[in-house]
């Protein structure tokens, strides 16, 4: 399951259900659409009402999908259990209620807690000021409960977060001020201090800010953050979009946290683009449930990479595949090799379709053998970087087959979901979730 943002069409966003069974007559098709109640929400990321952290509670059931609306501030709660092939809207938490009780706006990442509460990171106040960010708590009935962090422990900027109970730690990342990113990306805003470069280390579950890690000029726009799934391990990664680095964070001997660059995706010299060099723009990554592989995307370059992280400090490239990007053959943009030659990447068609945009959100099957990928980042940024090729033609969803033994990635030629053909489309597809759980929603205790 995953959901789609609008493309200027005056219709609500919706949750799309896709058939992934290769033996089904509706394989690789949208089989249900659940529109939300308002226009202009920009459904973005999501989470479940319960996950592995609730394993001690026999009443906990992965029944409800939580859909925060990045721009409007609403939170939609969807029942996926009554009919998994046709989810239904269960409740709407209104932005006015959230703002009145907590002062928060621009909700982003949702995780369930072992207590039964839902925690959602909010990127600013309702006006879009970064200083107003924090963490929203909903109770098990999805009523606004308050804020999670202690008063005065809300540093500038917010984005993603992941908690690790055995180490009594939660780490959050920092995108930027909503007032800046919602209008499009402006490099001057980075220099003006409107985007983040820090990780925030909190006491868990107490909510006290214990440490701030400055990632410096090699860690600009740190977005998705993940610990290893093994709850005994005290290490994880954050993908830094603008500098295209994977930064590893880890606990030191004295109990504090430190960081280092683990993967460095070099920018490419280019022609016919807005800048002389193009970053890969790492916008998402996942870690396999066995903590053996890490997968990342370069939204602008257009490739998905597989790294062996059995030694977390020394990732080894194990697979790579191109599925779009600004540098594919047929594009106006070219990259320039060290010897001055102009080159572009070969990107195959899938089921007769040219691949649009670049790989943006990915989700990994529980067995680690299938990656699903969509190509929309955020509607305003989609328009800015990919223009009509993405916004007017819409998204698609692909399947990447994974070699989990020797390493390697390959596009599945039989799977292609085309969101240009939607009844109220074209639509922009973003995050994906499995009803039974996935590699980015479960936190083990």
Average pLDDT of 389-406?
A: 95
Please report the pLDDT score of residue 274 as a whole number. 94
CB within 8 A of 303, min separation 6: which ones?
280, 297, 320, 321, 322, 323, 325, 345, 359
β partners of residue 342: 336
pLDDT in the model for residue 444:
82
CA gap 19, 35 in Å, rounded:
18
What's the half-sphere exposure (Cβ side, CA atoms, 13 Å) at 65?
Answer: 34
Q: Which two tokens stand for residue 133?
A: 């960010």
The residues, any chain, with a CB within 8 Å of residue 59's CB and separated by 6 or more, are none
DSSP lists the bridge partners of residue 374 as 361
Return the closest-CA partner of residue 197 out of 180, 218, 171, 227: 218
Mapped onto helix, strand or coil, the DSSP state of residue 29 is: coil
**For residue 5, what pLDDT is reported?**
60
CA atoms within 13 A on the CB side of 221: 21
- What is the rounded CA–CA span in Å between residue 433 and residue 169? 25
Q: What phi-psi label fits residue 216: left (phi over 0), alpha (psi between -120 and 50 degrees) or beta?
A: left
The whole-number pLDDT of residue 114 equals: 87
pLDDT band at 330 (very low <50, low <70, confident <90, very high): very high
Check residue 59 and give its pLDDT.
67
Tens digit of pLDDT for each residue in 222-251? 999 999 999 999 999 999 999 999 999 999
Report yes or no: 428 and 376 within 8 Å, Cβ to Cβ: yes
Assess whether pLDDT exceeds 70 at residue 16: yes
* Residue 410 in this model has a pLDDT that exceeds 70: yes
Tally the C-alpha atoms within 13 A of residue 375's C-alpha that lie toward its C-beta: 35
Q: How many CB atoms lie within 10 A of CB 399?
A: 22
pLDDT at position 6: 55
- Window from 5-14, 116-125, 289-298, 397-406 with minimum mean pLDDT: 5-14
Residues present in the chain in total: 445
Q: State the pLDDT at residue 10.
A: 85
Written as one string, the DSSP assignment of 216-243 is GGG--SEEEEEE-SSTT--EEEEEETTT
Residue with tokens 């789609």: 4
pLDDT at 55: 59
DSSP classification of residue 345 = B
Residue 368 region by backbone torsions, left for phi larger than 0, else alpha for psi between -120 and 50, else beta: left
Contact 412, 39 (CB under 8 A): no
Residue 386 has pLDDT above 90, yes or no: yes
What is the pLDDT, as a whole number, of residue 1? 46
3-state secondary structure of 394: coil
Give the pLDDT confidence score for residue 61 in this predicted structure: 80
Q: Give residue-wise pLDDT tens across range 153-172.
A: 988 889 999 999 999 999 99
Kindly state the average pLDDT of the residues 357-379: 96
pLDDT value of position 145: 98
pLDDT at res. 54: 59
Query: By percentage, how much of the chain surpasses pLDDT 90?
Result: 88
In the predicted model, is pLDDT for residue 334 greater than 70? yes
- Tokens representing residue 396 in the block: 């698609």
Q: Supply the DSSP string of 243-305, one letter for each residue.
A: TTEEEEEEE-TTS-EEEEEEEE---EEEESSSSSEE---EEEEEE-TTS-EEEEEETTT-EEE
Report, as an integer, the average pLDDT of 186-206.
95
- Determine the Cα–Cα distance for residues 257 and 368; give it in Å rounded to an integer: 29
At residue 332, the pLDDT reads 95
Which position has the higher pLDDT, 7 or 73?
A: 73
> Looking at residue 27, what is its pLDDT?
97
Q: What is the pTM of this model?
A: 0.96
What percentage of the chain has pLDDT greater than the value 70?
96
């Amino acid at each position: 399951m995953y959901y789609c943002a609008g493309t200027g069409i005056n219709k609500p966003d919706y949750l799309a259900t896709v058939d992934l069974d290769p033996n089904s007559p509706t394989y690789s098709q949208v089989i249900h659409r659940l529109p939300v109640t308002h226009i202009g929400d920009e459904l973005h990321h999501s989470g479940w009402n319960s996950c592995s952290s609730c394993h001690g509670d026999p009443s906990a059931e992965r029944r409800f999908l939580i859909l925060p609306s990045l721009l409007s501030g609403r939170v939609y709660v969807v029942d996926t259990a009554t009919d998994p092939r046709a989810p239904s809207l269960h409740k709407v938490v209104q932005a006015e209620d959230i703002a009145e009780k907590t002062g928060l706006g621009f909700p982003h990442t949702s995780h369930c807690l072992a207590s039964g509460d839902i925690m959602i990171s909010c990127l600013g106040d309702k006006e879009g000021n970064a200083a107003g960010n924090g963490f929203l708590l909903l109770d098990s009935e999805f009523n606004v409960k308050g804020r999670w962090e202690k008063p005065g422990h809300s540093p500038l900027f917010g984005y993603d977060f992941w908690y690790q109970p055995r180490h009594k730690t939660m780490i959050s990342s920092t995108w930027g001020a909503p007032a800046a990113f919602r209008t499009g990306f402006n490099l001057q805003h980075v220099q003006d201090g409107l985007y983040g470069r820090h990780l925030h280390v909190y006491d868990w579950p107490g909510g006290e800010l214990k440490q701030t890690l400055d990632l410096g000029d090699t860690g600009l726009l740190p977005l998705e953050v993940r610990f290893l799934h093994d709850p005994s391990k005290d290490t994880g990664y954050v993908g830094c979009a603008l500098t295209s680095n994977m930064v590893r964070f880890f606990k030191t001997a004295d109990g504090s946290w430190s960081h280092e660059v683990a993967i460095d995706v070099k920018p490419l010299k280019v022609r016919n683009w807005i800048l002389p060099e193009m970053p890969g723009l790492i916008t998402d990554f996942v870690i396999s449930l066995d903590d053996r592989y890490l997968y990342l995307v370069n939204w602008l370059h257009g490739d998905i990479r597989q790294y062996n992280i059995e030694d977390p400090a020394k990732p080894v490239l194990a697979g790579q595949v191109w599925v779009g990007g600004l540098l594919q053959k047929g594009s106006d943009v070219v990259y320039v090799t060290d010897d001055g030659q102009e080159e572009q990447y070969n990107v195959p068609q899938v089921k007769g379709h040219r691949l649009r945009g670049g790989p943006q959100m990915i989700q990994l099957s529980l067995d680690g053998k299938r990656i699903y990928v969509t190509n929309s980042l955020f509607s305003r940024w989609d328009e800015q970087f990919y223009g009509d090729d993405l916004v007017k033609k819409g998204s698609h969803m692909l399947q990447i087959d994974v070699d989990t033994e020797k390493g390697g990635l390959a596009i599945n030629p039989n799977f292609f979901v085309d969101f240009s053909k939607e009844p109220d489309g074209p639509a922009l597809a973003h995050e994906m979730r499995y009803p039974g759980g996935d590699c980015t929603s479960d936190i083990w205790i």
